[in-house]
Amino acid sequence: MRLRLVPDETHWDFMKWRHWTFGASVIAMVASLIIWAVMGLNFGIDFLGGTTIRTESTQAVDVGAYRAALDPLALGDVTITEVFDPTFGPDENVAQIRIQAQEGAESVTPETIAAVEAALQQVDPSLTFPSVESVGPKVSGELIMTALIAVGASLAAILFYIWLRFEWQFSVGAIAALIHDVVLTVGVFSLLQIRFDLATIAAILTIIGYSINDTVVIFDRLRENLIKFKKTPLIEVMNRSVNETLSRTLMTSGTTILALVALIALGGDVIRGFVFAILWGVVVGTYSSVYVAKNVVLMLGVERDPKKPSDAGTQFADIDA
């Protein structure tokens, strides 16, 4: 016995709504860029510089009392948020205090951190400080540049690989799908004001890897079918290829989503932003593999000459992955 999410043979017309889906993708990307420009991103300490102090207490968090205790220290921009998590017990009350980088200093000094902890413990003697993270302004600027280089380099490497493995039209389609996934991920983080830090960059790189894997699987089947069905219209070959890989796509995405949902529910607030980014990326990555990458290839067309030998239809068909 084996699990079947879809029948062994399906004949769904995925490309029937290609104009609507591609238009919706373009609108979603434009909306994401506008939201990003207007609302900005909720950058973490990694990118802003400063210090994050995590507190835990058996008593309820009193944000007003915490802020009143820190005001005399003149620390500048201080953000205090209570952390909610369904896994916390009734006596687990967690808060996160973010202190901006001090002018003229690489980071908040140990003396200042000690003063903050002492002031907070006057409000609640049961407070503990399980983690303190500090990043200087210079380091945070370098991290932003390194993150951009990492994302750009990964896209460039994938562009070259897909061009080498298939044809340039496939390469453009794959990169269009990846840009779609990254822009929509940044847009949803901006809209929901979820903390954007180095863990999110790691999640975006993971999304890129997952999305291109799904795209390459369908492209590989498309290439095989282009060789087999040389006189069949390209759009029909695309539909056949998506249908033939549908079971694999749903099984891979479904099992990944199950694991990610469990992590969101039970993994705690520390990794929730990272897991949410990957979960969102799996969904949009699966969608873009069909309705962005394939749409671009269909619009650009693929050179198909029935008189050519059976290895036609790709520039480097004999290169093993």
Confidence of residue 104 (pLDDT cuts 50, 70, 90): low
Distance of alpha carbon 7 from alpha carbon 5, whole angstroms: 7
Q: Who wins on pLDDT, 266 or 192?
A: 192
Report the helix count and the strand count for the chain, using DSSP H and E: 11, 6
Q: What's residue 202's pLDDT?
A: 85
End-to-end CA distance of the chain: 32
Can you give the pTM of this predicted structure?
0.73
- Residue 240, H or E segment: helix 234-244
All structural domains of the chain with their residue ranges: 14-43+140-300, 50-134
Q: pLDDT tens, 268-279?
A: 666 788 889 899
Give the fold, CATH level 3, of 50-134: Alpha-Beta Plaits (3.30.70)
Please check whether residue 296 is in contact with residue 173, taking contact to mean a CB–CB distance below 8 angstroms.
yes
Q: Which CATH number fits domain 14-43+140-300: 3.30.365.10, 1.20.120.450, 3.40.640.10, 1.20.1640.10?
A: 1.20.1640.10
- Cα 92 to chain centroid, rounded: 30
DSSP 201: H
- How does the average pLDDT of the chain come out, rounded? 80
Q: pLDDT tens, 224-260?
A: 888 888 788 888 888 888 888 888 888 888 888 898 8
Of 284, 275, 279, 277, the C-alpha closest to 85 is: 275
Q: Collect all residues with Cβ–Cβ distance below 8 Å to 6 and sequence separation of at least 6.
A: 246, 247, 250
What is the CA angle 98-128-198, rounded to 5?
40
